[in-house]
Structures are given as structure tokens and as C-alpha cells.
A and B are shown apart, each in its own frame.
Chain A
């Protein structure tokens, strides 16, 4: 019952402490993580957004530069000059020197006939009149094609410019190296798993992506999602991975530059941070739980001990009160009895005085009277002794101050009772501290107390058991503990053991005064006598004596 209260208190403190510790800890952890994750994601989005914008500009610049150089050559050279292969080759060399990435160069007249061609393919003399781009360039003057296969049967795109000369138009057409271009586009990627590629208005790949897919394949991307301005959003990739995408339409060609990042991969650092945070939180929680449980248990244990001490002190206080009240009452009784006894004694003395007179000496009953008086005196003396010994107040009853060797006293007591104990198959063990100081006290009285305690222990055990007597000392006190393996006693009995006339022995076996007298003796020596016991677990009586140094002789 009592331990349930402490247990409940313990769990109440633990749960309350954990609640008020965990709530802010978890809340704070969650908030910090969310803030951090938000900032991190935002940063990644911004990075990819910015990259898409700047790289689109770079690609625009690439195309513009090549368009410009092609246009300049067309504008500054006549048709006649350009159709000689020698000149054309020189121009291609100059173009590659100035800008690079040109694969070939061709001159086409207004009928679509390629009149001159410099490049790795056998395209001289081809007629492009039916090709879509031919119509475009003839009408618009400048044309950048999507990537297509064409006569060469290899993916490429062209830049073509038209020149008007002497009422006729002719076209200067160059092919851009798809590998170089793909590499330039790819350079826009971010991170190990990032990618960058171009799509045309139909969603066909115009450059080779770093991962998966090839030029002219259709990309699994809904390009209608991208508006005029750079846009960033998340999408699930072909293999189920989450991708962060940013897309920007080029200005010089309706191509969409797409930059993608693998979210999970990019977030790896964030996840590592999160895992670290979780680990630290878990470790913290564990530490808090362990500390809280241990501290609380320690606290409750100390509380329990303090409560026990208070209870013991209460019991002692009650005991002291009872003894004081009893003492007061006994003193009154003694006075009330001793006064009439004094009168009786004087009266009998007076009768005796009178009997000594001559005439009464002759009385036949004189001897009878004298015997009666003697008897009265004897009984007065008996009554006086009863009162005096009950109170124990006469000066000779006060403890005398002599040198007390506690261990010697204990050993002497054990010697007295050893045979008696052995006959009952009870083992008396002593564990006496060898360095007890000699104190001032009354060795006979102390022996009376120890004798009483050991005797009680033997009675409590009955047969078969053990008694241990320990002595120890600290700087201010000597303790003698008599522990028995007897049946112990409930709390209700413990409260009363030091009461006068209280006994658990059967009638005629004990007066119930032994422990009361022991208690009084130890109290007079300035010490205390206490009992600790649990039902079924024996009992321990502890004598605590102050270390009073013996008088110097």
C-alpha cells in the first residue's frame, strides 16, 4: 500500500518531467528541421532556376554569334566568290577560327541546288528545293533548323542565311557540330546527377542528355507546362525518382533548355542533417529518460527514507511524551504514597516508644504488639521499595559514570547467554569494530540493556536461528545493533515495544518492563534505543550512545 504511493509518485514525477522536457525538445527539433529543409529546398530551386536562365542566355549567345558570323560572310562576299570551293574552305576555316563548332559550309542557289560544299559529307550537287528549311530561309532570310537527319543521315542542325544579289537570292548554309553543341548544353548541368538538354516545340530532344535518351528521341516531359519565363517544378522521373526541373525557352530559337536535378540526391545532405538531428534527439531523449528515471528513483528513495526517519522520530517523540507523562504521574503517586507511609512509620515508631514505658512492659501481649509493629514496619519498607524502584529516582538509581568498554560489555553478555542460546540451537555471532573508543557510562546498566535485548531475541526466535551483534562507531556515536532471525513484528507492535507493561509473551512469561527499562537506561546515558523490523524478517534493535570521553583520573 505504502510502496504503491511512492511508486505512483515516482511515475508521476517521471512522466511529468518527460512531458515538459520532450514537448519543447521535439517541437523545437521539428521547427528547426522544417525551417532548415525549407531554406535548403528554396536554395536548390533558386540555384537551378538561375542556372537555367544564365545557360539559356549563353546558348542564345552561341547561336547569335554563329548566325552573325555566317551573315557577315554572306553579306561581304559575292555569290561568285563563294561558289569556289577554295574560297569556301577558307571561309569555313575562318569561321571555325573565330567561333568554332561549324562542321561544313555550303552555297545554295535560288533553285535549291547546292553549288559548292565544304565538309565531311558527300553533299555537293544536292538539291534542297523540297526541304522545309529551304522555303523558310528563302522567305525569312535567316533560319536555324531543329535537329534532323537530312541527306547525311546523321542528326544535325543548320544555320542558313539568304543573300540578295543582282535580283537573285542565294543561301549560305552551315551545319553545327551536334557533339560540340550537346557538350555545351550539357555543361549547364548541376551536380553529379544533374542533367541539361534542349527540346524543340514538339518535345523532341535537340541535344544529347547526360542520362537516358538520345538526340531526336521524344522526351517524357510535358513541355506545355513551361511558360514564357523560367519555371521550376518537381516531377517524377521515368525511373520513379523525384526530379527538380527548370526550363527556359531560348530567345533566338524556340528550343526549351531543361535542367534537371535528382531531388533525393541533391537532398542527401539535408537528409544526412535530418538523420543526425534525429540521432541527437534520440540520444538526448534516452539521456533524459535515463537521468530522469535514476534521479527520480533516488529522490523518491530519499523521500522514503526521510519519511521513515520522521515516522521513527514521531514514534520516539510519542514514546518520550508517554514516558514523561508516566513519570509525572508516578511522581505524584509516589508523593501521595510516601507521605502516608511516613506517617505510618512515625506512628509505629511512637507506639514502639510508648511500649518501652515501664507499665506497658508488664502487659501480657507486649511481645505480640512488638511483632505486629515489626511487621508493619517491614511492609512499609516493602511499599517504599516498590515506589522507589518503580520510579528509579533515588540517587543510587542514577547511572554512574565509569569507563565503558562497549565490546567488553557485549562479550561478557554473550558469555552469559551463550549456553542458553546453544541449548535452543541459536547461533550468536559478533562483529565488533576493534577501534571503539572507551566512553563514560555505566557498564552494569549497559550490560543489563544488552542482556535484555539478547534475551528477548532468543525468546523471539524460540528454536533454531541466529543472532548477530554488531558494534561500530563514527566520530560522535557508538552503535550496537542486535539483529535476530525471529518472526519480526508488525508496525503496530513496534510502536508499543517500549511502552511499560507491553508484552507479547504469554502471561507469566514477562513483565513487559524489560524494554521500557532498557529504553530509560539508554536515554539516561544520553543515547537512543530504536527498533527496525518487518513481519517475517526478524528485528534489529539499535543502541546509539554518544561518545562521551571518560573523566581523567
Chain B
């Protein structure tokens, strides 16, 4: 399996585990972690293309803080915010900090994949383009 280039951060273990299983099943190399601090450590080690980040994580860093730190470490990393409830202010703040977009839970896998494809496309390199195309193909099959 290729080097994982997508990181999912969510404190809800069931959600994280299931989402990662489903992505892996679709041959999308994914890493996962349950906290902002852990995410920052992983981001420092691995140049992820896209980070899917939960905003509300009780205890420790929340999604907005994590986003700010990720962008400091690697500006080009695209971040998709994911949350059970986004107030207008939080989402606006996220967008201003450079998040690619934000999605509301519960979310269908297809919608997330579409967003991932768009984010990868934006990174612009040929590798990214082809991976984006692969995801799109997956979506077309279902």
C-alpha cells in the first residue's frame, strides 16, 4: 500500500475506525488519530495532502486550534473541517484560517469522497490529479 496521504482526526473512536476501514477498503491510504496533539505529531512526520478534522474535540486542542497549527507546519496541506454542529462564526473562522471547506455530520461517504477529490485536485500536481481521478472513478461505480 502506498504512503498514506490522508489523515482523519476525530475523538469519536467508532466514527474514526469505521471511516478509516471504509476508506482503506477503497484503497485510499489513510491515517487516523483521536486528538489535535496527535494530529500535529503525525503532520510533522508525514506530508499529508488532506486532513479531515473534527472541530469539537473535548479536552486538549480543538479543531480550529489544530487547523491553525497544521497550516503553520505545512501551508499547502488542505484541511476539511467536519463537525456535528458548526456555528456561523466557527465555520467563518475556519475558512479564514485557510480550511478548504467544512462538512456537517452525519455525512455520507460519497459526499466526503467528492470533497476529498476536489481538495486533491486543488493541490495541482499530476500525482494528485490521478488520485483525484481514482476517487472520482470509485464514486462513478456506486
A associates with B: yes
On A, residues with C-beta under 8 Å from B are: 331-332, 334-339, 341-347, 349-350, 353, 380, 384, 388, 391, 393-395, 398
> In the complex, which residues of chain A have a beta carbon less than 8 angstroms from the beta carbon of B87?
331, 393
5 tightest Cβ-Cβ pairs between the two chains A and B: A338-B84, A342-B105, A341-B106, A346-B18, A335-B84
User: Secondary structure of the A side of the interface?
Assistant: helix
Query: In the complex, what residue of chain B is closest to A347 when comparing beta carbons?
Result: B18
- Contact of B107 with A by CB under 8 A: yes
Q: B6-29 toward A: CB 8 Å interface, digit per residue (1/0)?
A: 000000101100110110010000
Q: Min CB distance, B116 to chain A, in Å? A: 15
B22 A350 Cβ-Cβ under 8 A: yes
Q: How far apart are the CA atoms of A395 and B56 in the complex, in Å? A: 19
User: Can you identify 24 A-B contacts, CB atoms within 8 angstroms?
Assistant: A331-B87, A332-B85, A335-B84, A336-B84, A337-B84, A338-B84, A338-B85, A338-B104, A339-B84, A339-B105, A341-B106, A342-B106, A343-B12, A343-B14, A345-B106, A346-B15, A346-B19, A346-B109, A350-B18, A350-B21, A353-B22, A388-B104, A393-B88, A395-B91
> In the complex, which residues of chain B have a beta carbon less than 8 angstroms from the beta carbon of A395?
91
- Contact of B86 with A by CB under 8 A: yes
Q: Min CB distance, B62 to chain A, in Å? A: 12
- Contact of B140 with A by CB under 8 A: no
> In the complex, which residues of chain A have a beta carbon less than 8 angstroms from the beta carbon of B22?
346, 349-350, 353
Q: How far apart are the CA atoms of A332 and B85 in the complex, in Å? A: 8
A347 B14 Cβ-Cβ under 8 A: yes
The one of B25, B84, B86, B91 in contact with A342, judged by C-beta atoms closer than 8 angstroms, is: B84
A335 B106 Cβ-Cβ under 8 A: no
Query: In the complex, what residue of chain B is closest to A341 when comparing beta carbons?
Result: B106
Residues 75 to 114 of chain B near chain A (Cβ within 8 Å): 83-88, 91, 104-109
Q: How far apart are the CA atoms of A391 and B85 in the complex, in Å? A: 10
With A338-B106, A339-B105 already in contact, the answer to whether A349 and B18 are too (CB < 8 A) is: yes
Q: How far apart are the CA atoms of A331 and B91 in the complex, in Å? A: 14
Beyond A380-B106, A391-B85, 10 additional contacts (C-beta under 8 Å) are: A331-B87, A338-B106, A342-B12, A342-B105, A345-B107, A346-B14, A346-B109, A347-B14, A350-B22, A353-B25
User: Secondary structure of the B side of the interface?
Assistant: mixed
B85 A342 Cβ-Cβ under 8 A: no
Q: How far apart are the CA atoms of A345 and B104 in the complex, in Å? A: 13
Total cross-chain contacts (CB, 8 A): 65
> In the complex, which residues of chain A have a beta carbon less than 8 angstroms from the beta carbon of B84?
334-339, 342
> In the complex, which residues of chain A have a beta carbon less than 8 angstroms from the beta carbon of B14?
343, 346-347
Q: Min CB distance, B94 to chain A, in Å? A: 13
Q: Min CB distance, B106 to chain A, in Å? A: 4
The one of B12, B88, B109 in contact with A349, judged by C-beta atoms closer than 8 angstroms, is: B109
- Specify which of A346, A391, A394 lies most central, judged by the most chain B CB atoms within 10 Å of its CB: A346
> In the complex, which residues of chain A have a beta carbon less than 8 angstroms from the beta carbon of B88?
393, 398
Q: Min CB distance, A375 to chain B, in Å? A: 15
> In the complex, which residues of chain B have a beta carbon less than 8 angstroms from the beta carbon of A391?
85
The one of B19, B85, B108 in contact with A335, judged by C-beta atoms closer than 8 angstroms, is: B85
Q: Min CB distance, B80 to chain A, in Å? A: 14
Q: Min CB distance, A517 to chain B, in Å? A: 18
The one of A341, A393, A394 in contact with B105, judged by C-beta atoms closer than 8 angstroms, is: A341
B85 A331 Cβ-Cβ under 8 A: yes
Q: Min CB distance, B18 to chain A, in Å? A: 4
> In the complex, which residues of chain B have a beta carbon less than 8 angstroms from the beta carbon of A349?
18, 22, 108-109
> In the complex, which residues of chain A have a beta carbon less than 8 angstroms from the beta carbon of B106?
338, 341-342, 344-345, 380, 384
Q: How far apart are the CA atoms of A388 and B15 in the complex, in Å? A: 20
The one of B19, B105, B108 in contact with A338, judged by C-beta atoms closer than 8 angstroms, is: B105
> In the complex, which residues of chain B have a beta carbon less than 8 angstroms from the beta carbon of A345?
106-108
